[in-house]
Every structure is written in structure tokens, then in C-alpha cells.
Amino acid sequence: MTMPAQRIGMHLLLFILLVVLATCAGTQAQEKADKKQEKEVAAKEKKQEKKEEAPAKPKAVRRAAVKARVVQQRFTDENFDQWVFQQDRNSAVGRQRLEARLALQLEFIDGACHLTDVQKKKLQLAGRGDIKRFFDRYDTVKQKFQSVKEVSQEDQQKFQEIWQKVWQDINPLQMTLQAGLFHEDSLLYRSVYHTLTPEQYARYEAVDRERREFRHRAAIELMVASFEQNMPLRDQQRRELITLLMNQTKPLRKPSQYSSYLLLFQLSRVPEEKLKPLFDAVQWKVVEWNLNQAKNVVRSLKQPGQVVDEEDLVDEVGVRPDAAKN
């Protein structure tokens, strides 16, 4: 056999060998795929047989299973604190803030009338009594909250009823924090009168009156600024309205989120012949709408559950609640 013929034979033999190897590999892969498919089919058949053999679950059992999957509205103690202490988010930080406010209040009184060490301790004890009194209320409401920490959403009516009762207890706590603890009805304020000497108390009253008047003017200017969002005023109108409000309204005894409405309500008590000439016909319509809105808000604040000082609620005939009782 010549050399070219030998080379052709070797190439042919190599080609045949490669074909045989490829065929064997393909056969093995196909066998594996067939076995895998057979196992899957067998598993499905076995699962179907078990399903057919198993007895059907009673309707009561199926309903219980569905009910168990109902999403639960879970309330936690952390949620409760976040609702009450909206700014601070928890009671510990809330307590720290109240302690800081007490320190500032004592600093203000000391700056006005130079307290002795004994006087400072007595007033500090009274202020901490106000803080304790608030947290006693907080603990009472929290005990009620424990019974409704987990409420099913399945009964929406029941859920709403329970939530409304809880909120009626939480809302006054929120409003107390917003108004502040150290007001005229507080233990601290009452202790000031009995702790200071007459000379000290006179100085304190003068400084406190000046501070309240400053806050009152700031509240009036803020209310007038919000007023102007819907009704621009000329400079002279703005000055005259602020002057009228300063003369015809009184400072609120307690800060409140409803301060602007309470001031507007007091403005609604001003005789129309004094107020109306400040505005043109178009402006007066806007003024009337705002005054009526304030009246509606104040009426709602008179309802149970709203913590608003009655001294700030002049009734419909212009007689204060305490005067009407006498």
C-alpha cells in the first residue's frame, strides 16, 4: 500500500471512531432523560393516588383553615407609644422632653424672681408631680390598650368600634402633650403662688404677662398670615386687623393646635360694625366663611373627649361657661 493510500485509510478509521463515540454519548444522554421523565411521571401518579385515597375534609375544617389565614391587625406597645408621643415616638424620650421643659420653666421663674434653693426644690417637686400625673393617665390608657392589641380585620364593624374607644382615650393624651403640662391648672403653677414671696410673685406676674402677650401677638400674626393665603391684604388692612385682634381678643390660657380657630372664634364675637369696614365686599365674603368655619370647629371641640380649656370657649351668647353657671 502506498503512502497516500495509508493516510486515507487512517483518516477514514479516525472518522468512523468519532462517529461511534458521538453516537454512544447521545444514547447515554437520551437514556438519562428517559429515566428522569419516568421518575416524574411515577411521582405524579403516586401523588394523585394519595389524593384520591384521602378523605375529603369537612366544610367546618376548611372554613377554619380559611379563617386561620385571615390577616391579623397586630397592635404593639411600640404602636401605642408612637400614637401618644407622636414627636418622640416612645415614652422614655417623651419623659426626657417633659423633664427638659420643666427645667426651662424653672429657669424662667428663677430668672424672673431669683429663687432660693429651697424654693427651687419645692417647685421642681411640683413640676415632677405634673409629669407623674400625666404618666398615671398614660398607664391607665395603656392597660385598656392591652386587651385590643390584636384585633381581627374579619369583623370590620367590631374593629372600628374597638378602635374608636381606644382612640377616645389616646386623643386626650396627645392634646395634653401638645398643650404642655405646665399651664395655669398645673401643680407647678399653683405652687408658684404659695412658694414665692409677694415681691417675687409680683415680678413673676409682670414677666409672665409680658411673655403671654408676646405669644398672643405672634399667634395673631401667624393667623393673619394664614388668612392672607386666600385673601391678600393691604399693609394698612393688615395693621388694622392685628390691632383689632390685640384689643378684642385675649391670650389663650393654654397653647393648642386649635389656637387659630379659637382666635377666629373670638374675632367672630367682635361687633360687625367694627370688623366689616376693614374689608371690601369680596374680602368680607372670605372673612365670613372663615369665621363660620371657626364656629363649627369650636362647637365640635365642646364635645366630650376634646381637651380644650373652657376659658377659651366663649359661648354663643357671649357668656363664658363659668359665668353662666354662677
**DSSP SS3 for 27:** helix
pLDDT for 258 = 77
- The C-alpha R_g of the chain, in whole angstroms, comes to 39
Phi, psi dihedrals of residue 87, rounded to the nearest 5°: -80, -40
In this predicted structure, what is the pLDDT of residue 303? 54
Write down the domain spans for the chain.
75-146+153-193, 209-320
User: 309: part of which helix (H) or strand (E)?
Assistant: none
Give the Å distances, CA to CA, from 125 to 122, 192, 212: 5, 12, 24
47: its cell numbers: 401523588
Asked whether the whole model's pTM tops 0.75, one would answer no
C-alpha cell at 31: 437514556
Cβ burial of 135 (10 Å; 0-12, 13-18, 19+) is middle
175's grid cell: 392634646
Q: 242 and 291 in contact (C-beta within 8 Å)?
A: no
- pLDDT of 304: 45
pLDDT at 121: 96
Q: pLDDT tens digits, residue range 34-48? A: 666 666 766 666 666
pLDDT in tens, 2-29: 445 555 555 555 555 554 555 555 555 5
pLDDT, residue 231, reads 85
Residue 231, burial from CB neighbour count under 10 angstroms (0-12, 13-18, 19+): middle
Q: What is the pLDDT of residue 117?
A: 95
Distance CA 287, CA 148 (A): 45
Furthest C-alpha separation in the chain: 141
DSSP H or E run through 105 = helix 91-113
Beta carbons of 171 and 305 less than 8 angstroms apart = yes
- Count Cβ neighbours within 10 Å for each residue of 96-119 and write b for 16 or more, e otherwise: eebeeebeebbeebeebbebeeeb
For 220, how many CA atoms within 13 A lie in the half-sphere containing its CB? 23
Contact, 120 vs 106, CB < 8 A? Answer: yes
Give pLDDT, residue 68.
42
The pLDDT mean for the chain works out to 76
pLDDT value at position 325? 36
pLDDT lower than 70: segments of the chain? 1-39, 41-74, 148-156, 158-159, 254-255, 302-326
Contact between 182 and 176 under an 8 Å Cβ cutoff? The reply is no
Q: What is the pLDDT of residue 5?
A: 52
